[in-house]
Structure 1
């Protein structure tokens, strides 16, 4: 489900958040599917439940999951993910593209990469 890299400089809660977000985005966790509880996931990953709770809180703030008190956390529907998240991601996209162009990345290769991603390809950096 989620792979943790303890040597990575990225905090564990962010790795968990990114892993769950990826599972929701790819459909590996279906809309309205129940996520493991904080305790279950903490036990599976052998980490502090507070770390999992922090990742869940941030995912909920970003709209990727929702929580029903007493029932658990569930994957949100794509349309429920806040429009503000689109704006935030587009700003990051613009910054990254500007830097790539500054580093002399070919515009056509960037366009092709976007097309590949739009068609469901390019699952990881090894496609480059």
Structure 2
């Protein structure tokens, strides 16, 4: 499900967030699907439950999951995810593109790359 890299400088909870986010985006986890409980996930990954709780809490703040008291954490509908996360990613996109243009990256190659990604292909 999620692979952790203990040598990575990125904190474990962020690796968990990124892994779950990717599973949601690729439809490996579908809307309203129940995620493993905090204890269950912590046991599978052999890490502290507080780490899982932090990842779940941040994913909920981003709109990727929602919690039902006494029932667990579930994958949110796609429309629920769009708002805040879309704005965050657009800001990051603007920063990255601005830096790429500063580094003299050709505008046409950026457009081509976006078109490839939009078609579902791998960027090259």
Q: Smaller-chain TM-score range?
A: over 0.9
The CA distance in 2 between the partners of 1:38 and 1:30, in whole Å, is 19
Q: How many residues of Structure 1 are paired with residues of Structure 2 in the alignment?
A: 124
Runs of 4 or more consecutive aligned structure 1 residues displaced over 2 Å after TM superposition: none
Asked whether the 8 Å contact 1:37–1:72 carries over to 2, the reply is yes
Equivalent position of 1:73 in the other structure: 73
Counterpart residue number, 1:111:
111
Unpaired runs of 5+ residues, structure 1, are: none
Summarize the alignment of residues 18-97 of structure 1 with structure 2, pairs less than 5 Å apart. Answer: 18-97=18-97
Instruction: After superposition, give the CA deviation of every residue in 1:79-127 in whole Å (9 maximum; x if it has no partner).
Output: 01151221111111000000011111111111111111111222xxxx5
Q: Report the 3-state secondary structure (helix = DSSP H, G, I; strand = E; otherwise coil) of the residue aligned with 1:84.
A: helix
The alignment's TM-score, normalised by the length of structure 1, stands at 0.93
RMSD (Å) for aligned C-alpha atoms: 1.0
Unmatched tracts of structure 2, length 5 or more: none
TM-score by length of 2: 0.96
